Amino acid sequence: MTKQEKVDFVIETLNDIYPQIPIPLDHKDPYTLLIAVLLSAQSTDVRVNQITPILFEVADNPYDMVKLSVEEIRDIIKPVGLSPMKSKGIHGLSEILINKHDGKVPADFEALEALPAVGHKTASVVMSQAFNIPAFPVDTHIHRLMYRWGFSTGKNVVQTEKDAKRLFPQDLWNKLHLQIIWYGRQYSPARGWDLEKDIITRTIGRKSVLSEYNKKISLKKA
């Protein structure tokens, strides 16, 4: 297969498996999505979706959020991890949204990344999922699969994002990055990986990755 044929195969396969793709984090507007994505750092979507209803029942907008102290926010979000940093970020960004953006989440990369505790990945998720502006957020699943498929070097997420944007059509970025995340979770995880179920990697995967997988399987059977 040529590189383009591999890209086409990925797109077609993912569309067959995931014709409709849900957003993993529960939210109702750009603000609640921003907070949910911030909370998801070093945590799981399942855990975040358990905590955000509790937080949003108390404060689901920046005006109510700043009425809480950092300590009160931290107590609520503690189960998701990194609560000291995240609580400060949530309180701080809420103040900035009120003071600089009329309480609204800006649909602008630079403005989003200027907010406390908001990095490029978080900004990319908000831009793509809240505002439908083309972006390609790279999480651990996308980083892993882009390497396994031979589409990126795997050196860092910055390079992986550049490679993904270069290979895939821009009008597919917002849907495709979610499809790859779900595929990585269900068919090509970091642990408990079964190549027989992973049709994409089995078909187009990097030779070194397939060789390493087969070695591990052989050792288990020995």
Distance CA 20, CA 186 (A): 15
- Kindly name the residue from 26, 139, 162, 165 that is annotated as catalytic: 139
SS3 75: helix
Residue 139 designated active-site: yes
- Kindly name the residue from 6, 60, 86, 121 that is annotated as catalytic: 121
Signed CA dihedral, 68, 69, 72, 78: sign only: positive
Quickly list DSSP for 86-145.
HHHHHHHHHHHHHHHHTTS--S-HHHHHTSTT--HHHHHHHHHHHH--------HHHHHH
Signed CA dihedral, 117, 119, 124, 127: sign only: positive
Residue 197 designated active-site: no
Catalytic residue list: 121, 139
